[in-house]
Amino acid sequence: MPRLFQFLLCATMMICASSQAADRVTGADFATRSPVLATGAMAATSQPLATQVALDIMRRGGNAIDAAIAANAMLGLVEPTGNGIGGDIFAIVWDAAGKKLHGLNGSGRSPISLSRQWFIDNGHQKIPSHGPLPVSVPGTIDGWFMLHERFGSLPMQQILQPTIDYAERGFPVSQLIAYYWNRSVPILSPYPGFVEQFTVDGKAPGEGEIWRNPNLANTLRKIVNGGRDAFYKGEMAHIIADYMQQNGGFLSYQDMASHRGDWVDPVSTNYRGYDVWELPPNGQGIAALQILNIMERFPVGDMRYDSAEYVHLFTEAKKLVFEDRAKYYADADFNRLPVSKLISKKYAAQRAKLIDPAKAAKHYPAGENVLENGDTIYLTTADARGNMVSLIQSNYRGMGSGMTPPGLGFILQDRGEMFSLEQGHFNVMEGGKRPFHTIIPAFITKQGKPWMSFGLMGGAMQPQGHAQIVINMVDFGMDVQAAGDAPRMHHRGSSQPTGEKMQDGGILNLETGFPYSTIRQLMRLGHKVQYANGPYGGYQAIRLADNGVYWGASESRKDGQAAGF
């Protein structure tokens, strides 16, 4: 099949693989800077102050896990447009001592008293995007303590103190964060507590303006002193519950007190000799594995990175996979999920046959007979011992629901919006259930050894971005920085876990950098091609070379930094 695909597509677009190989696009064509190299430690985050906090923790004897928690706490302060302790957390940890990967699912559940029927009875066609109704239990604090209890080395007081200090004395707001903050204020200002705690006289802080959050400093200090129970079972849990009840919400003290995160086993597929690891649903990580399995059926390395041949193939693979994503990805506690079947090579071979090399599909069916018997931040850290952390954390929709409990300095997430109201759907809204999640950390091993910790934020862009990063490095030979800087494609409009169906093939967004000849060819194949400002994702990565050198990379599209010592 791969050779037939190549022959037909070459004939369709009058391009042949041999001529493409002679004129290959390389990483040097895209890199905005060289990778950062170090041996003692490395951190890559979406905000330089958070990167520096992570490095300082490791200079003081902390490990990569301590550093990841510290950086996440700091990002909740300096980048509230993407995350905060009112949201959820996922992580993959490489434990150097045990030579093993561990997965953390720190996502919260819906209020136990809220049901699909309530939404139907009250005239809702879908769950609102903001306000009290999409709020689910925030899982981040519990996730920090799970990571710390199992792998941490420094006291939590030392880990959170840098954020407490910055929250009290202030920091200058960086460029892109100021832009997104300003966009969020008109949307979130109607919700109680937001204006008082996240604006300056009703306006977002501007670029370079000093921002302080003493309420968050006080919240973190209480967490240091009282542990995770101070958040889930103490005064703060009562404040959150009372605030929600007073403002039309359902999140209760019991919902907070009963929360627990879970250790899970990461799942993987082998892509041309590299084992790519993701977490199983309720997240969407296995979509990246499914895309890679389909792409492995074709001679991608013989194609040009910016060719219509490659973009068409990738887009069709994504469309196929996202139909499964819409149907099958949900909370495993409520469903029998066909994960091993979905990420199998045999299943990929069956699905790949549906791709027409000469035409973009208007729609694809989800796989049948699959069931078996029996806006966000991403950061990564690595230490001198060889521990590596891939961590992602988010409120969803940037700053979250807008619901901002009094005096606590953070906004509650709105992940409940991702539930479906379709009766019988795997992801149907139920009380005490985890919603479908978009945020996914990733990891690559080679021959049982750590090779790269990476991630890419941006909603439905994330699995598309994960697969593109892997392909850039494995098939196109790019280094860790160029793989992230290369222009990306983002197909949108596929069927959704909330119940919406793909209409007329969706829309293919291409970032600046793809030649117009490619765009014309894609349009001839039937793709609806548009340029969009985003989201194309925010990437961070650390690759471990065979000689022990860490190669760090940070997203050129954000305010981030990779640094080491």
Residues that are catalytic: 376
Tokens 């009058």 sit on residue: 14
Per-residue CA distances from 391 to 351, 464, 471, 502 (Å): 31, 18, 21, 31
Which one, of 250, 312, 291, lies nearest residue 442 by Cα? 291
Cα(298)–Cα(272) distance, integer angstroms:
11
Phi, psi of 226, deg, nearest 5: -110, 0
Q: Residue 527: name the closest of 294, 290, 313 by CA.
A: 313
Please, where are the H alpha helices in 383-486?
A: 461-474, 482-485
Residue at 28: amino acid letter: A
Q: In whole angstroms, give the CA distance from residue 417 to residue 439.
A: 14
| Six token digits for residue 535 | 């989201």
Name the burial class of residue 361, with classes exposed (0-12), middle (13-18) and buried (19+) by CB atoms within 10 angstroms of its CB.
middle
CB neighbour class for 526 (10 Å; exposed up to 12, middle 13-18, buried from 19): middle
Partnered with residue 564 across adjacent β-strands are 42
Maximum alpha-carbon separation in the chain = 68
Q: Give the amino acid at 195.
A: V
